[in-house]
Amino acid sequence: MYVSMSEIDLVKILNLDRSLSPGEIDQLLDGLSQEIFFRLITEKISKLLNKKDFQNLREKYLTSDDTDALMNEIKTKWPGINIDLQFTVTSSEVKKEFMINYLNDLKEDFKNENINKNADMLIKELQKEQIDRDLCFSLKEEVVKNIIDINK
Protein backbone atom coordinates (compact mmCIF):
# COMPACT_ATOMS: atom_id res chain seq x y z
CA MET A 1 0.00 0.00 0.00
CA TYR A 2 1.34 3.40 -0.98
CA VAL A 3 0.99 6.16 1.59
CA SER A 4 2.28 9.66 2.23
CA MET A 5 4.99 10.36 4.79
CA SER A 6 2.34 11.67 7.20
CA GLU A 7 0.92 8.14 7.43
CA ILE A 8 4.25 6.50 8.27
CA ASP A 9 4.74 5.58 11.93
CA LEU A 10 8.41 6.32 12.55
CA VAL A 11 8.44 4.36 15.83
CA LYS A 12 7.39 1.18 14.03
CA ILE A 13 9.49 1.71 10.88
CA LEU A 14 12.63 2.35 12.93
CA ASN A 15 11.75 -0.34 15.50
CA LEU A 16 12.13 2.21 18.27
CA ASP A 17 9.56 0.42 20.41
CA ARG A 18 12.11 -2.40 20.82
CA SER A 19 15.14 -0.21 21.49
CA LEU A 20 13.69 2.63 23.59
CA SER A 21 11.53 2.72 26.70
CA PRO A 22 8.06 4.32 26.46
CA GLY A 23 9.40 7.40 28.29
CA GLU A 24 12.29 7.73 25.85
CA ILE A 25 9.89 7.42 22.91
CA ASP A 26 7.66 10.12 24.40
CA GLN A 27 10.70 12.35 24.88
CA LEU A 28 11.80 11.76 21.28
CA LEU A 29 8.34 12.49 19.89
CA ASP A 30 8.10 15.61 22.05
CA GLY A 31 11.43 16.80 20.63
CA LEU A 32 10.18 16.18 17.10
CA SER A 33 6.96 18.09 17.88
CA GLN A 34 9.01 21.04 19.10
CA GLU A 35 11.09 20.94 15.91
CA ILE A 36 7.92 20.86 13.80
CA PHE A 37 6.52 23.84 15.71
CA PHE A 38 9.79 25.79 15.39
CA ARG A 39 10.05 25.17 11.65
CA LEU A 40 6.39 25.91 11.10
CA ILE A 41 6.63 29.29 12.74
CA THR A 42 10.10 30.28 11.48
CA GLU A 43 10.13 28.80 7.97
CA LYS A 44 6.56 28.43 6.74
CA ILE A 45 4.51 31.12 8.45
CA SER A 46 7.22 33.74 7.95
CA LYS A 47 6.70 33.38 4.18
CA LEU A 48 2.90 33.51 4.35
CA LEU A 49 2.32 36.66 6.40
CA ASN A 50 3.50 40.23 6.20
CA LYS A 51 6.43 41.10 8.41
CA LYS A 52 4.41 42.84 11.13
CA ASP A 53 1.83 40.03 11.49
CA PHE A 54 4.58 37.44 11.50
CA GLN A 55 6.55 39.27 14.21
CA ASN A 56 3.44 39.51 16.38
CA LEU A 57 2.76 35.77 16.05
CA ARG A 58 6.39 34.91 16.58
CA GLU A 59 6.61 36.95 19.78
CA LYS A 60 3.36 35.49 21.05
CA TYR A 61 4.00 31.81 20.30
CA LEU A 62 7.71 31.11 19.89
CA THR A 63 8.28 30.65 23.61
CA SER A 64 4.90 29.06 24.33
CA ASP A 65 5.20 26.06 21.96
CA ASP A 66 1.39 25.97 21.67
CA THR A 67 0.82 24.61 18.16
CA ASP A 68 -2.95 24.32 18.56
CA ALA A 69 -3.37 27.94 19.65
CA LEU A 70 -1.09 29.14 16.85
CA MET A 71 -2.97 27.18 14.22
CA ASN A 72 -6.37 28.31 15.57
CA GLU A 73 -5.30 31.95 15.48
CA ILE A 74 -4.07 31.64 11.91
CA LYS A 75 -7.29 29.89 10.85
CA THR A 76 -9.32 32.68 12.46
CA LYS A 77 -7.34 35.72 11.33
CA TRP A 78 -6.12 34.44 7.94
CA PRO A 79 -8.59 31.80 6.72
CA GLY A 80 -7.02 31.84 3.26
CA ILE A 81 -3.86 30.23 4.62
CA ASN A 82 -4.18 26.47 4.68
CA ILE A 83 -2.28 26.04 7.94
CA ASP A 84 -3.26 22.37 8.23
CA LEU A 85 -1.48 21.66 4.96
CA GLN A 86 1.54 23.69 6.07
CA PHE A 87 1.64 21.70 9.31
CA THR A 88 1.42 18.37 7.45
CA VAL A 89 4.19 19.36 5.04
CA THR A 90 6.44 20.53 7.87
CA SER A 91 5.71 17.44 9.94
CA SER A 92 6.53 15.18 6.99
CA GLU A 93 9.80 17.01 6.34
CA VAL A 94 10.92 16.71 9.97
CA LYS A 95 9.89 13.07 10.21
CA LYS A 96 11.64 12.18 6.94
CA GLU A 97 14.85 13.94 8.00
CA PHE A 98 14.83 12.19 11.37
CA MET A 99 14.32 8.74 9.85
CA ILE A 100 17.01 9.24 7.21
CA ASN A 101 19.49 10.52 9.80
CA TYR A 102 18.65 7.62 12.10
CA LEU A 103 19.22 5.08 9.32
CA ASN A 104 22.49 6.73 8.30
CA ASP A 105 23.67 6.56 11.93
CA LEU A 106 22.59 2.91 12.07
CA LYS A 107 24.72 2.21 9.01
CA GLU A 108 27.69 3.81 10.75
CA ASP A 109 27.10 1.80 13.94
CA PHE A 110 26.77 -1.50 12.05
CA LYS A 111 29.21 -1.50 9.17
CA ASN A 112 27.53 -4.52 7.65
CA GLU A 113 26.87 -4.97 3.94
CA ASN A 114 23.34 -6.33 4.37
CA ILE A 115 22.31 -3.66 6.88
CA ASN A 116 23.75 -0.93 4.68
CA LYS A 117 22.01 -2.28 1.58
CA ASN A 118 18.61 -2.56 3.27
CA ALA A 119 18.99 0.77 5.07
CA ASP A 120 19.90 2.45 1.77
CA MET A 121 16.85 0.92 0.09
CA LEU A 122 14.68 2.09 3.01
CA ILE A 123 16.14 5.60 2.77
CA LYS A 124 15.46 5.65 -0.97
CA GLU A 125 11.85 4.62 -0.37
CA LEU A 126 11.36 7.23 2.38
CA GLN A 127 12.50 9.97 0.01
CA LYS A 128 9.62 9.33 -2.39
CA GLU A 129 6.34 11.26 -2.44
CA GLN A 130 4.28 8.08 -2.17
CA ILE A 131 5.90 5.46 0.03
CA ASP A 132 5.36 1.72 -0.24
CA ARG A 133 4.58 0.98 3.41
CA ASP A 134 4.79 -2.79 2.98
CA LEU A 135 8.23 -2.51 1.39
CA CYS A 136 9.37 -0.28 4.27
CA PHE A 137 8.26 -2.85 6.85
CA SER A 138 9.90 -5.64 4.88
CA LEU A 139 13.19 -3.75 4.67
CA LYS A 140 12.96 -2.85 8.35
CA GLU A 141 12.51 -6.52 9.26
CA GLU A 142 15.60 -7.43 7.23
CA VAL A 143 17.62 -4.79 9.07
CA VAL A 144 16.35 -6.05 12.44
CA LYS A 145 17.15 -9.63 11.49
CA ASN A 146 20.70 -8.65 10.51
CA ILE A 147 21.21 -6.71 13.74
CA ILE A 148 19.98 -9.66 15.79
CA ASP A 149 22.40 -11.96 13.94
CA ILE A 150 25.30 -9.56 14.63
CA ASN A 151 24.40 -9.21 18.30
CA LYS A 152 24.29 -12.98 18.91
Are 136 and 14 in contact by the 8 Å Cβ rule? The answer is no
Encode pLDDT of 1-49 as tens digits. 899 998 889 999 998 988 889 999 999 999 999 999 999 998 999 999 9
Run of H or E including 125: helix 113-126
Q: What are phi and psi of 131, to 5 degrees?
A: -105, 135
Q: Where are the domains of the chain?
A: 2-151
Is pLDDT at 131 greater than 90 in this prediction?
A: yes
Q: Model pTM?
A: 0.88
Distance linking the first and last C-alpha atoms of the chain: 33
Q: Count of alpha carbons within 13 Å of 78, Cβ hemisphere only?
A: 14
Q: Which amino acid is at 69?
A: A
